Chains A and B, each alone.
Chain A
Amino acid sequence: MSNSRRNSGTRPGAAGGRIQQAKLVLLGDQGVGKSSLALRFVRGQFPEHSEATVGAAFLTQTILVQGQSLKFDIWDTAGQERYHSLAPMYYRGAQAAVVVYDINNANTFNRAISWVRELRQQTAVNTVIVLAGNKADLASEHRAVPTEDARVFAEETGLIFAECSAKSGLAVNEMFMMIAHKIVGKHASPNSSQGVQLTGGEEASSSGCKC
């Protein structure tokens, strides 16, 4: 049969096995680097635990958080407004949503704000929402969205906030780890990755590839 892959596996989400599964959806305007962020996270450190099947549009990454395996299903979405109509199908049932904007483009930030509003209305209260300002590597010259503005907005609406760079890898892994912590349910400890163990094993203690 064609569905050999499924035949051997469990129905995802149906069995409460050892591996917890989490759907993470990436939202944001076109060209802000949603898929690059995901690719950085997935390919950055332990590519052997990831699966990139549909290009960079759908990725999975398994990590170990507090002794618990967590498998991220990362759903990338199209940023173009014309594909917006079925966006609810993308973020329905997602445990986490990362709303990405480009630090160097104020329009993308406005769009991110409207995404956050929509998510708040349409998704469950316990959905982890992250506001991520991407392209921090270019911010020294082209910054258009002040960090404070974004931080204030994030605090007001109760979001996790991070400025990161998919290109350099800045703060990308930390961000995903924070999400993982929140999902696994124990106390999330922002700004630190202590106690986080990546499933890579040998180099597990080093966190991220900051620059």
Chain B
Amino acid sequence: TWLKQWRSKLEANPQDPILISQLVQEILRCSDHPFTELLHKYQMQIYQRLYPLIANKHQEIDIVQVPLPLSAWPSLDDVSDTLCDDIQSPVSTSTDKPEPTSLCSLKDGYGKVSQQSSENSTGVNSSKTEHHVDENKNRLKFSNKKVEVIDIDSDLHPLFDQSESECSTKNRIEDNQVICDLSNESKAVSDVGHESPGLLQETENPLTSNSPAILPDSDVQEDLKNLIFGNSLVGGNIHQMNNNDGDQSSDDVGDRTLCEDQVSKVESIRNLCDGVSQKADNTSSRTDKLAVDRGNAAESTRNVCDGVSQKADNTSSRTDKLAVDRGSEAESTRNVCDGVSQKEDNTSSRTDKLAVDHGKELESQMSWERRQAQLLMRQVTKDYSSYQSGDSDYDENKLDYLFDGSEEEDDDGYGWFDDNASDQSGYQSGLQQRTVLNQDQSSSLDSGISDTSVSQPDRESQGRGFSSNVDLENKHRKDKQFQKLSQEAYLRHLKSISEDIHCYLEKLLVIMTISYEPLDTPVGKDQCAVSLEEPFFKPIWKTLLRLFRVVNHKQELMLACVMTRLADSTPADFKVSQKLWLTDPACKPYQRAITELTNVQQHYTMLSKLECVVKVCRQICECVDDYYSQKHGTGESANKKAPSVGADDLLPVLSYVVVQSAMPQLSAECHAMSEFIHEGYMMGEEGYCLTSLRTALNYVISLFPSVARPENQS
């Protein structure tokens, strides 16, 4: 009935923006309104894709702060490619400094080296020299393989808090069945949460600063993260996971005694098969969701699904062949898990809980296996679609889409797998898969910068544990490639998720305009989009931003470096013309603009962030005006009028403000803003201010080589 009232109100006054936003709020307040349910479903879908991607990245992200801890300082080598291929600009960059060119040549050298060594096995030498070149040329100080133990408590607690709260969000949103699953999940998470302080306290004391002691600790930490990661992945598959869980943990006891037995091989094959069938399940559940959206497409999609699950049967036979290669790799996974759990064993005497934990570890391992299986499926699907000419193009596209959607972070491994499949070279496969594994396992150690030096010993020991013929130098080189690949994979995920978000927002908007015809005007649609933005982004924003931060990690590191280094800078340092230095003994020049810029992170919606950015630019001009009017009052330079601030002056000041804001996440924020803000807004003042901010950011980042060098020399 209240909806009818709204309808009549709307007809009387279809263009009233306040009315429209009130209507949207009213609808969303009603939690069982179909529109609200749809919104929540979309949010859930986005969230489910986001969370696994960022779940084990917290440490990497949290380390980026101003002042940047010395251990996190990136080397020029690490960021050279980011500096060189300027993604944002189609035109070749020309900077005032000579550094980029030398960097380019360095990078070219590296590229050649790695190419060479990937072609033949003499790569050991070349990668060694490459290493030397990097270290000597850049005079880096990262050879002292020492990591600062960052405050683990503060690092982990938010993690748990967040995941708990996120679970509760999920509970609210999800339908009954999944609520069941998720309550299990959140319980599990809270278990871990309860346990962790004990663990941490025990582990923290012995290992304050000596580096060998860090390793077990970070293992534990990594392990905990894995648990969460595993939990988060569960989603719709949790039932099946749980079913397997029992077997797994009993198997595991045997496994631990037998260690590198054939059993694990058999099991890995089974895991793979499970994974494949899970995948099929997963696919069909996703298809169902889609089918709701597109009723008429439902049947055809389901047909495809049937095809997929049939295919899954076929796959298992193929799997056998490949699984032999995988056997060793699965073994090694288990070894690592065992290692971790043994360490845990030492630290915590609660052996009864260990079994449960172990089961969860296996869960996470399972999910890893499942991802491998997904890769396999992809491969198979390619073959499949190549001879399945009977299917219409639409179906095939659909199929592709499904797989694109469900493939999580396995992209980084995909390239390798593809190669291997065509290679059919068993040994190589084993080796490379293992490297993937190592990458996976130590990814939380890899805080992106000092990673190679830090995790090297760790990996060495692992490598010895697995097999003696693993070439460490090759690994080092491959790590770099994997990092690059995983970076690219994250970028792809970001793109596809962004596309989905755009698509969902559009769908919601269309539904609104269909159900409330008076809204079907430019003004109405506009207002609708504006009012939908906040409820849509608010619950997922933090997670989404984290993905953006992972993608922008290197930029953020460089930004943080420059910000740390230039913390005491003045406008003069940015070549601001003298009339705009605004030297004032009372406070920093442009303090108001700086404060305003730090507010950007407190907003949830793109438009309010954008508004913030506009305010920053305006504040800069106001600061100038105020300064001159004050001076005018004191008669110091009574005849001077406030100069007008053109872009020639605005950008240096903005660069100064960016550095003073000490907010490295600005890079990610700007990226997100330009991704989700409607084209139309990019034309006007908002677009101008955002572009200016991004230009200033880019400039500040480009200062990195000049600030990094003196630091490393001294």
Q: Which of B88, B526, B699 contacts A11 (CB 8 A)?
A: B526
Task: Determine whether A87 belongs to the interface, using a CB cutoff of 8 Å to chain B.
Answer: yes
Structural contact, B680 and A11, CB atoms closer than 8 A: yes
A46 CB to nearest chain B CB (Å): 18
Structural contact, B17 and A86, CB atoms closer than 8 A: no
Q: Tell me what chain A mostly uses at the interface: helix, strand, loop, or mixed.
A: mixed
Structural contact, A85 and B93, CB atoms closer than 8 A: yes
A91 CB to nearest chain B CB (Å): 10
Chain A 1-31, CB-CB to B under 8 Å as 1, else 0, gives: 1110011101111110100010100100011
Structural contact, A57 and B645, CB atoms closer than 8 A: yes
Structural contact, B530 and A86, CB atoms closer than 8 A: no
Chain A 72-91, CB-CB to B under 8 Å as 1, else 0, gives: 01011111111111111110
Task: Determine whether A61 belongs to the interface, using a CB cutoff of 8 Å to chain B.
Answer: no
B348 CB to nearest chain A CB (Å): 49
Give the distance in Å from the alpha carbon of A89 to the alpha carbon of B608 in the complex.
Answer: 21
Q: For A15, list chain B residues within 8 Å (CB).
A: 522-523
Q: Which of A7, A17, A55 contacts B624 (CB 8 A)?
A: A55
Give the distance in Å from the alpha carbon of A93 to the alpha carbon of B688 in the complex.
Answer: 12
Interface centre among A11, A15, A79, A88 (most CB of B within 10 A): A11
- Nearest chain A residue, comparing its CB with the CB of B530: A7
Task: Determine whether A34 belongs to the interface, using a CB cutoff of 8 Å to chain B.
Answer: yes
Structural contact, B694 and A86, CB atoms closer than 8 A: yes
Task: Determine whether B289 belongs to the interface, using a CB cutoff of 8 Å to chain A.
Answer: no
Structural contact, A39 and B683, CB atoms closer than 8 A: no
Task: Determine whether A122 belongs to the interface, using a CB cutoff of 8 Å to chain B.
Answer: yes
Q: Which of A1, A76, A88, A89 contacts B647 (CB 8 A)?
A: A76
- Nearest chain A residue, comparing its CB with the CB of B651: A78
Q: Which of A10, A23, A85 contacts B698 (CB 8 A)?
A: A85
Task: Determine whether B689 belongs to the interface, using a CB cutoff of 8 Å to chain A.
Answer: yes
Q: Tell me what chain B mostly uses at the interface: helix, strand, loop, or mixed.
A: helix
- Known A-B contacts A11-B522, A122-B91; the reply to A21 vs B683 at CB < 8 A is yes
Task: Determine whether B684 belongs to the interface, using a CB cutoff of 8 Å to chain A.
Answer: yes
Structural contact, B646 and A6, CB atoms closer than 8 A: no
Within 8 A of B (CB), among A112-159: 118, 122
Give the distance in Å from the alpha carbon of A76 to the alpha carbon of B650 in the complex.
Answer: 10
Q: For A57, list chain B residues within 8 Å (CB).
A: 617, 645-647, 650, 688, 692
Structural contact, A81 and B96, CB atoms closer than 8 A: yes
Q: For B575, list chain A residues within 8 Å (CB).
A: 80
Structural contact, B647 and A34, CB atoms closer than 8 A: yes
Structural contact, B527 and A7, CB atoms closer than 8 A: yes
B530 CB to nearest chain A CB (Å): 6
Q: For A199, list chain B residues within 8 Å (CB).
A: none
Give the distance in Å from the alpha carbon of A209 to the alpha carbon of B392 in the complex.
Answer: 68
Give the distance in Å from the alpha carbon of A14 to the alpha carbon of B677 in the complex.
Answer: 13
Structural contact, B526 and A54, CB atoms closer than 8 A: no
- Nearest chain B residue, comparing its CB with the CB of A34: B646
Task: Determine whether B520 belongs to the interface, using a CB cutoff of 8 Å to chain A.
Answer: no
Interface centre among B650, B682, B698 (most CB of A within 10 A): B650
Give the distance in Å from the alpha carbon of A55 to the alpha carbon of B90 in the complex.
Answer: 29
Within 8 A of B (CB), among A18-58: 21, 23, 26, 30-31, 34-36, 38-39, 53-58
Give the distance in Å from the alpha carbon of A23 to the alpha carbon of B680 in the complex.
Answer: 12
Structural contact, B645 and A85, CB atoms closer than 8 A: no
Task: Determine whether B21 belongs to the interface, using a CB cutoff of 8 Å to chain A.
Answer: yes
Structural contact, A89 and B522, CB atoms closer than 8 A: no
Task: Determine whether B1 belongs to the interface, using a CB cutoff of 8 Å to chain A.
Answer: no
Q: For A88, list chain B residues within 8 Å (CB).
A: 89-91
- Nearest chain B residue, comparing its CB with the CB of A74: B688
Q: For B522, list chain A residues within 8 Å (CB).
A: 10-11, 14-15, 17
Interface centre among A12, A23, A39 (most CB of B within 10 A): A12
Structural contact, B607 and A3, CB atoms closer than 8 A: yes
Give the distance in Å from the alpha carbon of A98 to the alpha carbon of B702 in the complex.
Answer: 28
Structural contact, B650 and A34, CB atoms closer than 8 A: no
Structural contact, B683 and A12, CB atoms closer than 8 A: yes
- Nearest chain A residue, comparing its CB with the CB of B615: A2
Structural contact, A89 and B691, CB atoms closer than 8 A: yes
Q: For A85, list chain B residues within 8 Å (CB).
A: 86, 88-89, 91, 93-95, 695, 698-699, 702
Within 8 A of A (CB), among B662-714: 678-685, 688-689, 691-692, 694-696, 698-699, 702
Q: For B698, list chain A residues within 8 Å (CB).
A: 85-86
Structural contact, B702 and A12, CB atoms closer than 8 A: no
Q: For B500, list chain A residues within 8 Å (CB).
A: none
- Known A-B contacts A57-B617, A76-B647, A80-B648; the reply to A86 vs B88 at CB < 8 A is yes
- Known A-B contacts A31-B648, A118-B91; the reply to A93 vs B683 at CB < 8 A is yes
Q: For B688, list chain A residues within 8 Å (CB).
A: 54, 57-58, 73, 75
B88 CB to nearest chain A CB (Å): 6
Give the distance in Å from the alpha carbon of A83 to the alpha carbon of B645 in the complex.
Answer: 16
Give the distance in Å from the alpha carbon of A145 to the alpha carbon of B371 in the complex.
Answer: 66
A132 CB to nearest chain B CB (Å): 15
Q: Which of B527, B618, B678 contacts A53 (CB 8 A)?
A: B618
B169 CB to nearest chain A CB (Å): 23
Task: Determine whether B227 belongs to the interface, using a CB cutoff of 8 Å to chain A.
Answer: no
- Nearest chain B residue, comparing its CB with the CB of A89: B691
Q: For A78, list chain B residues within 8 Å (CB).
A: 647-648, 650-652, 695
Q: For B611, list chain A residues within 8 Å (CB).
A: 2-3
B516 CB to nearest chain A CB (Å): 18
Q: For A87, list chain B residues within 8 Å (CB).
A: 89, 91
Q: For A81, list chain B residues within 8 Å (CB).
A: 94-96
Structural contact, A84 and B93, CB atoms closer than 8 A: yes
Give the distance in Å from the alpha carbon of A31 to the alpha carbon of B649 in the complex.
Answer: 10
A36 CB to nearest chain B CB (Å): 8
A–B pairs, 12, beta carbons within 8 Å:
A10-B522, A11-B680, A31-B648, A35-B646, A35-B647, A56-B646, A75-B647, A75-B688, A79-B647, A84-B93, A85-B699, A88-B89
Known pairs A3-B610, A12-B683, A93-B682 / 10 extra A-B pairs, C-beta < 8 Å: A7-B17, A10-B523, A57-B617, A58-B688, A75-B688, A79-B648, A80-B652, A84-B93, A88-B90, A89-B691
The 3 closest A-B pairs by CB, nearest first: A35-B646, A55-B645, A11-B680
